[in-house]
Structure 1
């Protein structure tokens, strides 16, 4: 019977091995095989569920929570409506002790975490809304309370996905604090800039700057988790994955939209430089999420180069060029990363990034 990398990850998840022990075993196996620096082609593990049973249980949990909420509302009446979501959040915490800690089921745990955070937020916004506070204060405090609740959830259940929900609530609080009425009105009405103006550092400086700082902060936290698990065997790497999913759009959208909206060849040239830097950063940290967030802007650059006339032929060429470029980078990601890492001089933390090597 062969022993696989998936067995190591399962052992770490079950608490049989620590992440450091699993990394040492992996290093020893790679050394004996003569490929210490080599990594599998698919070296960014991502898992929503382990089988259809998790999907089935998740559907059941959603229906069951809906039924319990309906029953409580029916018997409790109006007086219970404010705290009803909070009661459901408490039920989710109780059930997570079984589905997350004991059964270690991924998708049901994600469903329970989402319902827990949503329950805290809905109860908070309902209760605070009756306190005579301004709408902005009510929404911000509700987001903060929900984020704190998700922090407790992560501390108790160590579920990587809960860090993503926590980040969303934090981002919601930041957006509510910094979004002006004018920028919101322009976004809703589709005025000049639209979403671009919303994230443009010149047109919405407070909102866009807050988004940029949020992206930087979350990126640094994600890298802290990444460097604690360079072989990506356990929850630290999984937590980093979800944090990068938050950081990448916040950083890329703000920088790319600001440069693109500046217009002209100069703005496009700076955007190209930014996209190259983003691509190199994605290769260095071995996270494809940053490049995924930049795909739309790569398409905009191609459209500008070929002259976006909006006809069928132009968009066909854009799709072929964009698809070919992304496919090529994804196909040869490992050797491309190996080449970049070998060219780069030593820098602090380089040895704590995922090992690199060409599989060609």
Structure 2
């Protein structure tokens, strides 16, 4: 491994210039990022590298609000041609966002601006394609047959954006886009879900909970493909997997757990949650477990109203605290017990 002393020696011998040495040092520091400060066995997570990134994100947000205000004022002057105006504005917006992304993502390699630009690009694509292909009067009458094309094209546009810039957060947006497309198609065929519980309760009317479960399995499979290709969590593939787990976990765990919680099957619920906890420990993804349980707590307090729900939430909190305190030890013991059946060389090492 080349150290800073090696770089100084290379500059002194004339092999590289001082500016080249500074660039190499900056690149190495950016690649290490927050990982260098992690404890062994901790999970890499990085939203921003410094306050300058927050400053840029605020600027992008204000720029987006100004862009929306200008285009809204322009459309109000000629409301008849709103469709062509929105489409043109979306095309110009896409070009501007792409150019800004080239600088902040590919040149500066910033984290927070990359997330903000991914969100803006997704929103811009959805606005443009919806304006071009969707029919507002049909949507107002709960006829969603015009929406799947717009949402599918928006998701594909975001996939192209991800292919160019490889922003991990964009992968989560793509997964959410897939979820939205399937839900809109289901709503067009079976009607709009009347309650939020219909999206997660397998006992509810309609196919929504089953779609949530299947999409969750698909997203989880893609997340595992990224994770298994980078077991030491040193490349952006690991970050792609992180954000996909954030999307997959609520879809998988909540669909099963809330269905059992509704049926007051406490023992089965505990076993299922223990199974998902084992999966999270084996793949070393706290994000998978915390996101899932967070959604369970949020939804159970709104969907259900019983004394048993409070006790279940209390138990979940105790389990999370214990896992957080002894995660590395529990994982080391678990992997040693499952060493013969698991591909340990494809999983993060235990500490």
CA distance 1:270–1:298, change in 2 (3 Å): farther
State the distance in 2 between where 1:205 and 1:281 align.
29
Asked if the contact 1:230/1:352 (under 8 Å) is kept, the reply is yes
State the distance in 2 between where 1:8 and 1:42 align.
26
2:42 aligns with 43
Q: Equivalent residue of 1:136, what SS?
A: coil
**Corresponding position: 1:341 with 2:340:** no
Asked if the contact 1:100/1:109 (under 8 Å) is kept, the reply is yes
5+ residue gaps, structure 1, are: 18-25, 27-38, 188-194, 302-306
State the distance in 1 between where 2:73 and 2:298 align.
52
Q: Equivalent residue of 2:194, what SS?
A: helix
Offset, 1:205: 5.0
Q: What's the CA shift string for 1:130-158, capped at 9, x where partnerless?
A: 49877422221121111101110111011
Length-normalised TM-score, structure 2: 0.78
2:237 aligns with 236
CA distance 1:8–1:178, change in 2 (3 Å): farther
Q: What's the CA shift string for 1:268-327, capped at 9, x where partnerless?
A: 2211110110110110000112321125658999xxxxx9289xxxx6x87765443321
**Residue pairs, 1:248-259, within 5 angstroms:** 248-259=249-260
Moved over 6 A (4+): 131-134, 180-183, 298-301, 317-320
**Corresponding position: 1:207 with 2:218:** no
5+ residue gaps, structure 2, are: 6-23, 301-305
Give the paired residue count: 313
Q: Equivalent residue of 2:146, what SS?
A: helix
**Corresponding position: 1:332 with 2:330:** no
Matching residue within 73, 86, 92 for 1:87: 92
Asked if the contact 2:219/2:248 (under 8 Å) is kept, the reply is yes
1:145 aligns with 153
Length-normalised TM-score, structure 1: 0.77
**Corresponding position: 1:60 with 2:59:** yes
- Does 1 or 2 have the higher relative contact order (CA < 8 Å, sep 6+)? 1
**Residue pairs, 1:267-282, within 5 angstroms:** 267-282=265-280
Matching residue within 13, 20, 28 for 1:11: 28
Offset, 1:244: 0.3
1:114 aligns with 119
Q: What's the CA shift string for 1:56-115, capped at 9, x where partnerless?
A: 111111112322343345457544234323321221111100000001111111111111
2:246 aligns with 245
State the distance in 1 between where 2:122 and 2:297 align.
35
RMSD, aligned CA = 3.4
